[in-house]
Structure 1
Amino acid sequence: MEEELYFDNSATLRIFSETKIDFEEIEKTLGITPTSKHKKGERRGAKTPPYKHDMWSLESGLKEEESLEKHLLALWGILKPHKEYLLTLKETAKIDVFCGYRSNNHIAGVDLSHQALELFSELKIDFSLSIITT
């Protein structure tokens, strides 16, 4: 029996620093509750190593089956009104967007419009994509 093809995508804004991040200020300024956050030294589990940095992250809120394009547009729709604040955060923290693409089709690809890439140019961050095929 042939396995059904799947294509899963994600886009997550990550703000992280080895020094303390003021989570409360970020949440108050953006008016957004993060998808996840952790402090340097905390552990994911009892047997995992401690985190090396503070991190605040926000996912697009879409289902993985949606295209990467839609994930990026949704994330930018949330963040665009806060562009200037996010740029100031870059003075003390690193900001990136983790993009994920997973599929069991080894010959598929990703197409992105210039509108979906606006997030990267406006926040002055590089585009990178984690690709996992099985």
Structure 2
Amino acid sequence: MRPAAVLKMLCAALVLVAAAAITVPVAHADFAECVQACVDQFDADKAECDRQLDETLAQLDQEAEDCLANNPNDPIGAGLCMREVNIKRFRAQADHKRCVSVANTVAYNCYRDCQNSPSAP
């Protein structure tokens, strides 16, 4: 998978996380219900981040196998190819951390909104 495609996919994920956060209802009658909605949204957002990481890593595993298959008698070529795959893997993991961080921030802001509701303790 090309780096631009990975970046587009991760940006789309962040947009989904942000869009989902906007749809979390804040006007719950019960504070605990409001907090639970925030937790549920975080769990869903984090699961989406995890799903995208798993998908990207599976594609990179295939690319790594292709590196070895396409360079059977060229250890330098295979090594350079694997280096590129490992760079993509590192970037995917960093993007995953950012995605989870965004989900965490959204959940925190949701919780703060719950605290500002009339039913907050």
**Does TM, scored on the shorter chain, surpass 0.5?**
no
Structure having the higher helix fraction is: 2
Highest CA radius of gyration, 1 or 2? 2
With the length of structure 1 as denominator, give the TM-score of the two structures.
Answer: 0.31
TM-score, reference length from structure 2: 0.34
Flag the structure with more relative contact order, 1 or 2, with Cα contacts below 8 A and sequence separation at least 6: 2
Q: Flag the structure with higher strand content.
A: 1
